[in-house]
Structure 1
């Protein structure tokens, strides 16, 4: 006894014969239902079926059909399935994907800061809450200020020993202020903080001695 499998999608049907089982696929608007029927060898193809339901699928119809482009029966009763060609994403598709991901979230792709100040600094000391640094405010005049920053900003530093170099990046705009701290080793010349040469003229001077005019 041969098997007849009938697949019905909408108004189209596909049938082929291969054995002793007759089955059909019934797609509805809500859920697809796949059933198989065991056919007695002495029964008519249209009656005396012993229904054996083997599987149910809860996935939407569109998800099931997207895997295939078309189904074509041939003369031997086999079904030829032509797989759907996979499309590659281009830059526009990628941009649309990102827009969709962040459309419902508070995400700022780019920020325009009013001021962006980069300060070269050197750690002087630290305690449980703050790190104290000598910061070069003006490279031309070599103006230094002693500032402190929250210690948690330096959590990526392996050491907070005196003399450790750091780059402080201060960004600000209305209603917002941001501080970024980076390693300064290899990016800052340590000699910038060496002020011994500038104080040599003070050696041996009495506190009552009048300083030169440039002072």
Structure 2
């Protein structure tokens, strides 16, 4: 028996939750690449898995959990033709929390990485075009908006600190201390799931359509549906 729901979805090796995590990871990687965040020559690892190897330190560990998940409409679903086959489309709205944990082998390195993350989050809404912040590390929000399969809106006005900790022992050395700092922020958006008989469930790409400004004179050619 084939368990279709456990098969890989488009744009992700897993499903919706993993797609959100990977989008956050990709955005942080682009923002933090080549930034002066490390006290050593070690590369900063940003991943959805907890770091078990010393080579993966320092690290930013990304997690995500739902706080609300609901169908758009009341029992709403659409029968569509998808890639030449009959399929059923369902649209979902969601709210959730992203948790970012900075993990390092020294408290100073942890603080430096956390400071950089806070700066990137604080400037998430700065527009990139014609701005002094036209730089990848200040385009965190822009990177999130370019996700093709999961629409997400970041609540960039509030960051929830989870506190700092110093923990004895690591997966590779019981005598090594690890230093952590945790932050979380809220996220909301939508995604679309398509079910095709015999092929299972897949995420459908979300296409953004251009909108005409109908209030500007001659902005729309005569006879155009808007």
TM normalised by structure 2 equals: 0.15
More helix by percentage: 2
* Larger Cα-atom Rg: 1
Please report the TM-score for the alignment, with normalisation by the length of structure 1. Answer: 0.15
Relative contact order (alpha carbons < 8 A, sep ≥ 6): 1 or 2 greater?
Answer: 2
Q: Name the one with the larger strand percent.
A: 1
